[in-house]
């Protein structure tokens, strides 16, 4: 255009400088603050990873204890939030509910509007990370018509979430260690992913100076779409549909439909804007999937077999090879979540829960940046040249 670059979909425009997450899409490498995702998934829990993402360094034992304490002591939400939730239909999509609840929290924490005060930004970050599991579990319990389970602070972050989801006041609930570790790993793998659509949304929304709850609600809304966080739900629905139509025997037929562009059918859980090699998160997720299915006695899970077959065919097929389409994180995460007992419609809300720490770290980084400006993309105008209005009776 002469004045600015036209780059639809931001294929080659960096919208910010960031020191949080690094992706090498050709090598299939993902680092949080310099640490490989594989090592974090192996050695750290989600709160340790969250501390790293928020603060730039891994915590020492004392710092971890203090951070865990801060988060676990902000897990309750204002009782009024329960009344707000009750205004929704019980069959509302959890992402509709979550968008409302997260935005609604703005009404409770007036100090969060003071975004120029780093202490208030810190407390907002802790509140958001701490309360997301409570909100997601509340949305689930409400959809089931079951009583809400209040958080229990002596449990781990993920153990507490599982209890809020699956316990009821009538009986004892024991957190299953393998399930807890698997879900914690899902959280770690989804914690941040540099300038994806929802993170860019949080940054753009937050750049106007709005409060963090409003900015994160915008991120939740963006994540909902099937090309982004909604892919895990869409992927499991796809697997269930293939299974219902004949399973592994019909995989070839399904793949022909995917390759026929006029069908509009995509292989959900495949492809990525940045990864042009195997998504490292998908590798870890496939491992976790095997562990969980084995621990729960579900080794013969037909959907897992189906996804392995789809992957096998895709990795050998010219259509996928030429376009460098590999499984992404969402390809196996749905199977793990389903095995744990999480309903398909809640998958994207679990993604939002985990991504909240990344969103808030990116928002905080943006506000601390000396180069910070309100986000204001330009456009390529394609409308009419200047013209005069003709009076209504003469048109
Ligand atoms: N199935 C079939 N064809 C595909 C797929 C797929 N999953 N993904 C991309 N393609 C084709 C696409 O049609 C295009 O073909 P052609 O060059 O002939 O027009 C080519 O591959 C390049 O794809 P693109 O759509 O231009 O790539 P993009 O960077 O704009 O889109 C994507 C990336 C992730 C939106 C896309 O791959 C997709 O829709 N995948 C399925 C949804 C999905 O799994 N999303 C989760 C992403 S990872 C988690 C997250 O970030 O939320």
Query: What are the pLDDT digits (tens) for 10-59?
Result: 999 999 999 999 999 999 999 999 999 999 999 999 999 999 999 999 99
Percent of the chain with pLDDT over 90: 94
Measured by CA distance, the residue closest to atom 27 of ligand 1 is: 273
**pLDDT tens track for 352-368:** 999 999 999 999 999 99
Nearest-CA residue for atom 15 of ligand 1: 323
Residue nearest to atom 10 of ligand 1 (CA): 271
Average pLDDT over residues 262-279: 93
**CB-count burial class (<10 Å; 0-12, 13-18, 19+) for 92:** middle
pLDDT for res 4: 86
Looking at the CA of residue 271, tell me the nearest atom of ligand 1.
37
Asked if residue 295 belongs to a domain, the reply is yes
Stretch 161-166: mean pLDDT, rounded?
98
Instruction: Compute, in angstroms, the gap from residue 268 CA to the centroid of ligand 1.
Output: 8
Based on the fold, state whether residues 249 and 333 are members of the same structural domain. Answer: yes
Q: Look at the alpha carbons of 57, 58, 59, 60 in this order and tell me if their dihedral is positive or negative.
A: negative
Residue 153 lies in a domain: yes
Indicate if the pLDDT at residue 1 is higher than 60: no
1 C-alpha to ligand 1 centroid (Å): 28
Q: Which of 164, 173, 106 is nearest to 349 (CA)?
A: 164
- Has residue 62 been placed in a domain? yes
Q: 249 CA to middle of ligand 1, Å?
A: 25
Query: Is 376 in contact with 211 (CB distance < 8 Å)?
Result: no
- Residue nearest ligand 1's atom 20 by CA: 323
Q: What is the DSSP letter of 99?
A: H
Tokens 């204002």 found at: 78
CATH number at residue 309: 1.10.230.10
Q: Is there a single domain that holds both residue 300 and residue 209?
A: no
Phi-psi region at 309: left, alpha or beta (left = phi > 0; alpha = psi -120 to 50)? alpha
Query: For residue 206, how many C-alpha atoms fall within 13 Å in the half-sphere facing its CB?
Result: 28
The interface pTM score, or ipTM, of the predicted complex is 0.96
Among 201, 226, 235, 271, the mutation site with the greatest number of ligand 1 atoms within 8 A of its Cβ is 271
- Give the residues surrounding ligand 1 with Cβ less than 6 Å away: 196, 227-229, 231, 258, 266-273, 323, 325, 328-330
Ligand 1 atom at minimum distance from 223 CA: 52
Asked whether 138 and 81 are in contact (CB, 8 A), the reply is yes
Residue 206 and residue 249 in one domain:
no
322 belongs to a structural domain: yes
Distance from Cα 240 to the centre of ligand 1, integer Å: 21
Mean of pLDDT over the chain: 95
In a shared domain, residues 111 and 65 = yes
For atom 28 of ligand 1, the residue with the nearest CA is 273
Ligand 1: atom nearest CA of 273 is 29
Ligand 1 mean position, distance from CA 39 (Å) = 28
* Spatial CA neighbour of 124 closest among 137, 134, 111: 111
- Which atom of ligand 1 is least distant from the CA of 229? 52
- Three-state secondary-structure class, residue 395: coil
Residue whose Cα lies nearest atom 2 of ligand 1: it is 266
159 and 303: one domain? no
Q: Give me the helix-helix angle, 46-55 and 177-190, nearest 10°.
A: 20
Helix (H, G, I), strand (E, B) or coil at 38: helix
Task: Tell me if residue 315 falls in helix, strand or coil.
Answer: helix
Instruction: Tell me the C-alpha distance between 151 and 60, whole Å.
Output: 26
Mean pLDDT of the region 223-242: 92
Burial 11-32 (b: 16+ CB within 10 A, else e): eeeeebebebbebeeeebebbb
Q: Please report the atom of ligand 1 found closest to the CA of residue 279.
A: 48
**Atom 35 in ligand 1: residue holding the nearest Cα:** 227
Q: What percent of the chain has pLDDT over 70?
A: 99
State the distance from the centre of ligand 1 to the C-alpha of 75, rounded, in angstroms.
37
Q: Find the length of the chain.
A: 395
| Number of independent structural domains in the chain | 2
pLDDT band per the 50, 70, 90 thresholds, residue 249: very high
For residue 171, is it within any domain? yes
Distance 131 CA to ligand 1 centre (A): 33
Asked if 199 and 256 sit in the same domain, the reply is no
Side by side, the strands of the sheet bearing 29-32 are 21-24, 29-32, 35-36
Q: Are 209 and 237 found together in one domain? A: no
Report pLDDT for 22.
Answer: 98
Distance CA 364, CA 211 (A): 11
**Both structure tokens of 197:** 């659509």
Q: How far apart, in whole angstroms, are the C-alpha atoms of residue 132 and residue 140?
A: 12
**pLDDT at residue 2, as a whole number:** 64
Please name the helix (run of DSSP H) or strand (run of DSSP E) that holds residue 143, with its range, or none: helix 118-144
Identify whether residues 122 and 257 lie together within a single domain.
Answer: no
What sign does the dihedral 356-359-364-367 (CA atoms) show? negative
As annotated, the active-site residues are: 272, 330
Q: How confident is the model at residue 3 (pLDDT cuts 50, 70, 90)?
A: confident
**252 found inside a domain:** yes
Q: State the Cα–Cα distance between residues 351 and 187, nearest whole angstrom.
A: 7
Give yes or no for residue 326 having a pLDDT over 60.
yes
Q: Return the CATH number at 92.
A: 1.10.580.10
Expressed in angstroms and rounded, the spacing between residue 259 Cα and the centre of ligand 1 is 12
Domain co-membership, 240 together with 318:
yes
Q: Whose CA is nearest to atom 21 of ligand 1?
A: 323
Three-class SS state of 118 = helix
* 198 and 235 share one domain: no
Residue 14 in any domain: the answer is: no
Assigned domain for 3 exists: no
What confidence tens digit (pLDDT) does each residue in 101-114 have? 999 999 999 988 99
Least confident of 3-12, 96-105, 117-126: 3-12
Residue 108 and residue 77 share a domain = yes
pTM of this prediction exceeds 0.90: yes
Whether 236 and 213 share a structural domain: no
Q: Which domain holds residue 329?
A: 231-340
9 Cα nearest atom in ligand 1? 30
Tell me the mean pLDDT in the region 139-151. 96
Q: Is the dihedral angle over the CA atoms 47, 50, 51, 56 positive or is it negative? A: positive
């Amino acid at each position: 255009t002469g004045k600015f670059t036209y780059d639809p979909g931001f294929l080659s425009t960096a919208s910010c400088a960031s020191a949080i997450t690094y992706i090498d899409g050709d090598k299939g490498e993902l680092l949080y603050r310099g640490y490989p995702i594989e090592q974090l998934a192996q050695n750290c829990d989600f709160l340790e990873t969250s501390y790293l993402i928020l603060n730039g360094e891994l915590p020492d034992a004392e710092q971890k204890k203090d951070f865990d304490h801060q988060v676990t002591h902000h897990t309750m939400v204002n009782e009024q939030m329960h009344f707000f939730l009750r205004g929704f239909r019980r069959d509302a999509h959890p992402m509709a509910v979550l968008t409302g609840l997260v935005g609604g929290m703005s009404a409770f924490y007036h100090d969060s509007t003071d975004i120029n005060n780093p202490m208030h930004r810190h407390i907002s970050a802790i509140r958001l990370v701490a309360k997301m599991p409570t909100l997601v579990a509340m949305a689930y319990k409400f959809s089931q018509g079951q009583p809400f389970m209040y958080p229990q602070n002596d449990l781990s972050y993920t153990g507490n979430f599982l209890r809020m989801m699956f316990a009821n006041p009538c009986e004892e609930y024991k957190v299953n260690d393998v399930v807890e570790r698997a879900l914690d790993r899902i959280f770690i793998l989804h914690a941040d992913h540099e300038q994806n659509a929802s993170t860019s949304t949080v940054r753009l929304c937050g750049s106007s100076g709005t409060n963090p709850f409003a900015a994160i609600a915008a991120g939740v809304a963006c994540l909902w779409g099937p090309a982004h966080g909604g892919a895990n739900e869409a992927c499991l629905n796809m697997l269930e549909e293939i299974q219902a139509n004949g399973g592994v025997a019909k995989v070839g037929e399904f793949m022909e439909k995917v390759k026929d562009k006029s069908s509009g059918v995509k292989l959900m859980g495949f492809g990525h804007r940045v990864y042009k090699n195997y998504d490292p998160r998908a590798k870890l997720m496939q491992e976790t999937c095997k562990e969980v299915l084995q621990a729960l006695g579900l080794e013969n899970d037909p959907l897992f077999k189906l996804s392995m077959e789809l992957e096998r065919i895709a990795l050998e097929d010219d259509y996928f090879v030429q376009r460098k389409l590999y499984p992404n994180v969402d390809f196996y995460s749905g199977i793990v979540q389903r095995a744990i007992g999480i309903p398909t419609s809640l998958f994207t809300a679990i993604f939002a829960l985990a991504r909240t720490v990344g969103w808030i770290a990116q928002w905080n980084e943006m506000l601390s940046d000396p180069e910070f400006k309100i986000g204001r993309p330009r456009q390529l105008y394609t409308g009419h040249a200047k013209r005069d209005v003709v009076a209504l009776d003469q048109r």
